[in-house]
Structures are given as C-alpha cells and as structure tokens.
Amino acid sequence: MDVRRLFVCLGGVVLLFCVRSEENISFGSTAKQSSDQSSSGWEANAAVDGCLKQHIDSGCCSHTESLGWKEAWWQVDLGSLSTISYITIFYRVEAVDDFRSRFAGYQLYMSNTTDWTQGVLCYEDRSNTEEELDTVVTHQCPYVAQYVTVYNYRNNTTRHDWYDTYAVLELCEVQVFGCRLGKHGNGTCNNTCSDNCYGGNCDASTGSCFYCPSRKHGKMCDRDCSSNCKEGLCDKDTGYCNECIPGKHGNSCGQDCLSNCEDGLCAKDTGHCHGCILGKRGDICELDCPVNCQNSICAKDTGYCTECIPGKYGNTCEQDCSLNCKDGVCAKDTGHCDGCILGKRGNICELDCPVNCQDSICTQDTGYCSACITGRHGDFCSNICHNNCLDNTCEKNNGQCIGCTSGKYGANCDLDCSGHCNNSVCMQISGQCKECVIGKYGSTCEQNCPLDCKDNVCSINEGKCLHCITGRYGETCTFTCPVTCKDFTCDQQTGQCLDCYPGKYGVVCGADCPVTCRDICNKDDGECIHVNNAKVSAEDGTDYKLIAIAVLTVICGLMLAVLITLVVCLIRKNKDKNDSSDKNIEQRSQDPNYSSLSGVQEETPNVYEMIVS
C-alpha cells in the first residue's frame, strides 16, 4: 500500500470516529496475547494505547511469536459488560511489505468470559486475494460483551496458498466503540438507558432499547401491545402480535375466527381455520364433507374422506364395493376387498376357489387352498394322496402320508414292514417294529430271544429276558441258580436265593441254622425265628430257653413223685383186695381234665410199663 492510500484510509477512520457518539471503551484497558515476539517489547497492551501508527518500529504495535505456532490470539478486557456498536482494527503495514498474508483468515469474537469459544463469532475473514484484505477495517458488532478477542489459526493445509505458514498477529490498534452497560450518547456515554428497556440495555448511539419487556413495544418500549396478543408478546418495532389468543386473528389480533373453526382456532395472518368442526371442510370450514364419509370426517383442504362407510370406496366414497367382499368392506383407495365371501378369491373376489379346497376356503391373492379335502394335496389340492396312506390322508404341502395302513411304512407308505413285527405294525419313518412277535427282538424283530427266557419273551431293543425259566438267572438267563435254593428259584439279577429250605440260610442257602433254632431261622442273618415254639426275645434280657427247661424238669419231677405214690398206694390196696378203692384209683388216674404244666396234654402212663421200666 502506498503512502497516499494509507493517509486516505486513516482520514476516513478519523472522520468516522469523530461523528460517532460512542466512545472507544477499549482505550487503556488490559490486554493479553497468546505469545510475545522474543525480546521485542511488542506486548499486547500496545494495541490499546491510542497510537494509530502501523509500522512495527513505532512501538505502537503488538506482535505474537512468528515461528512455529498454528494458533495465535489477542484479547482485551473491557472491565465490565458493555454495549458494543462497532470495532476498528489497525494492522501492521510496512513500506516494502504490508504483512496481509499473516492477518488473512482472522476471526473476531465477543464473549462474557475469557473463553471466547463460548461467545459469539462477530466476523471471519474469507478474502480470496491479498488485495481484498483491508489493514484498517471496521466491523459492526452490536453485542453486549466484556471481552473482545482477535483469533487466527493455520491448518496443515491453509485456505489459500498465499496465507503465511504460521499463525501470527501484529495488531497496532484495536478500538472498541460503545458504552458501558446501561449508558449511551454524545461520545462520553453519559446518558442512561430508559427504564423501559429490557435488562436496562440500549443502543449506545441512539439510546433505543434492544428489547422490550412483555406487553411493551416501540423504540423506547413505551407503547402497549394489543390485549389480544398471546402472553402479551408483540414485535418491538411494529407492535404486531407474535401470536393471538384463541379465537382471534390479524396483525393486532383484533378479528374473530369463524365459528366453524375447530376449538375456535385460526391462522393469525389469514384467519384460515387450523381445523374444522365435524362434517366441515375448506379454508374457513364453510363447506360440507361428502355424505359417505365415515363419521362425516374428511380432509380440511381436499374434502377427501378419511374413511368410507361400509360398502363404499374412493376419495369421496362415492363408489360401491364388490358384492363378493366379506361384510361388504373394501379398501378406500383401490376398492380391493379386505376379504372375500366363502368360495371366492381375487382383488375384488370375482374368482372361485379350487373345487378340492376344504370348506371352499382359499387365500384371496394366490387362490391356494387353506386345507384340502380328504385324499388330496398341493397348493390347489389337485394332487391325489398315495393309496397306502392311513385313512387316505396326507400332508397338504408335500403329499407325504400322515400315517400308513397296516404293514406299510415310508413317507409314501410304499415299503413293507418286517414279517416279525407284531400285527405287522412298524414306525412310519424308520420301519422299526413297534412290537415283536413272541420269541423275536431287534429293530426289525429278526433276532431270536434267548432260549431260557420265560414264555420265550424278551425286550425288543436289547433282547434281555423279562423273566427266566425256573433255575435260571441273568439278563439273558444264561446262569444256573444254586441247587441249595428252595424250589431251585433265585433273583434274576443277582442269582441270590429267594428262599431257603428249613434249617438253611444265606444268599445261596449254604449255611445251617443254629442248633437252638427249631429248623427255621432268618434267611439273611441266620437268627432263629422259633425255639421250641417259644419266641425268643431279648428286649428284657430274659433267657426263655432256660426257663422252659427248668419248668419241664420240675413238671417231670412232680409227675415221677406222683407215679411213685400211686404205685405204693396200688400195692397196699391190692393187699386189702379192695375193689372199690382200685376203681377209684383207676378213675382218678384217668381223669381226662388233667393237664401238664407245659401246656401239652400228657398221655396217661401205663402202670405196668412204668414198673417194668
């Protein structure tokens, strides 16, 4: 830039500054920057000292580090929230180089904190050539803020190839024109904003309010919004309502919505109803819905029915559904039946279902039978089931028999069951016999049961005997029971005797019962069950065997004494030849009611046998 151009720009800026009523609120404020050019003294505050010289040697410019940085920033703290009108930037200019390649792509932020990324981007440079970029430039930034930040960056690939490689800022002056919050006017911002201004904020030049409180409008917010404005909100400049209360329309909401508007609501600008009451249509709901609309409901704009009454279809439901439609119902748009009456198919149910469909039922679109009559299969039930299918019944889809007649198996029941299957019955898929004839086992009952199986019967799968003939045991009855087993009978699984002969015990009845037992003892442990018909009990510790022996001894002694006495008496009476005494003695000795102490009826001893003995 030549010297004349520089003076022209400076003159224009000075003239602009003189006619503006705001003050430069950045002058003398605290500034800081991302880095300082080494040992230069070109610090951040040099850009708010009021000096407008743009060459670096003047000492009026700030300068960040020029090498190695991809980001650079400069920030001024205005000291408090301020109403900003515009910002003017003076960038470094030298006689041989104006350094625009460094300034290119810069951004200008307004914020309430030092973190400008949380603020507002007021301007971003997108100059396509160096000549388009001004080194003295003014930006309108009508914001309330405390911090103003100039930021620049360089991506690995810059926006234009004429950009400098590194991010550098060389700001000679940054002027922020405006007033402190709540002030305006005459270059010194001595005037206070109107109390009507929302938040006490107004334009720093004119004093007009930025925003008005609810129910107010006008430059100074001194005029009332219409009472029909919804929530009392209207445009600050025109006073037009933002929205109307229900039932009203117009710029100031002074007109009534029509009575046919649903809920009395209509558009603010046109008065067109948002919706219509039942049975009405049109912009202002002045028209009737078609008579065949179900529940008299139709579209407000077109008058098309939402749904039709039964038996009708079409946009306005003026056409008749097919008579073959089930319940007379068809699609509103196409007239296609929702379902068909029995025996019919097709979009409008004009076609017949196949004759072999069970109950004449088929699908509406394809005509496939839902089920087939007995003996038929296939989509249209046109195929015949195989002859050997049980009850002439087969699967609809593939024709496979559901069951087979006796003696047959296979999907089509065309194979013969084994002749050894009981009643010629076998599994349909595998052909395995369900039961075998007597004496056979195996999947097809081809194998013989073991010879020693009782009644020649064995399990169908393993050929194991269900029971063994007498004297045999084992799964196939191949083993012989011990000869000591009573009746030659033993357990089929273990071979142990089921019972023993008298006087024997043990698993194979090979042990003798104790001598004290009266031939019978417990089979498992040999414990006596009877001792001379008296039960052995150990519950009270009494030995009943010794007691029985003692009692018998006493009885025998008494009987011997009696016999001896009788003999002596007989001898004496014989000497006296007393027949009556002999008879009495004989009758007395033969008393049938006499019993021994042992409880066993004793036989009357023969006197002569006793003497001989």
Parent domain of 139: 30-180
| CA 454 – CA 477 distance, rounded (Å) | 9
Q: Is residue 463 domain-resident?
A: no
User: What is the value of pTM for the model shown?
Assistant: 0.44
Assign residue 93 the CATH number of its domain: 2.60.120.260
Q: Is residue 492 domain-resident?
A: yes
Check whether 398 has a pLDDT greater than 70: yes
Give the count of domains, the chain.
2
pLDDT recorded at residue 547: 57
Check whether 54 has a pLDDT greater than 50: yes
Mean pLDDT of 200-224: 91
Picking from 180, 206, 237, the residue at the C-terminal end of a domain is 180
Residue at 113: amino acid letter: T
DSSP of 364-419: TTT--BSSB-TTEESTTS-EEPPTTBGGG-B-TTT--BSSB-TTEESTTS-EEPPT
Q: Is residue 524 domain-resident?
A: yes
Q: Is residue 75 domain-resident?
A: yes
Picking from 180, 207, 239, the residue at the C-terminal end of a domain is 180
Q: Mean pLDDT for the chain?
A: 86
Q: Is residue 371 domain-resident?
A: no
Q: Is residue 3 domain-resident?
A: no
Element (H, E) at 492: none
Check whether 536 has a pLDDT greater than 80: no
At 563, the pLDDT band (50, 70, 90 cuts) reads confident
Check whether 20 has a pLDDT greater than 70: no
pLDDT recorded at residue 546: 58
Mean pLDDT of 12-38: 71
Q: Is residue 344 domain-resident?
A: no
Picking from 128, 160, 180, the residue at the C-terminal end of a domain is 180
Check whether 217 has a pLDDT greater than 70: yes
pLDDT tens digit string along 186-197?
A: 677 889 999 999
SS (H, E, C) 199-243: HHCECCCCCCECCCCCCEECCCCCEECCCCEHHHCECCCCCCECC
Q: Is residue 170 domain-resident?
A: yes
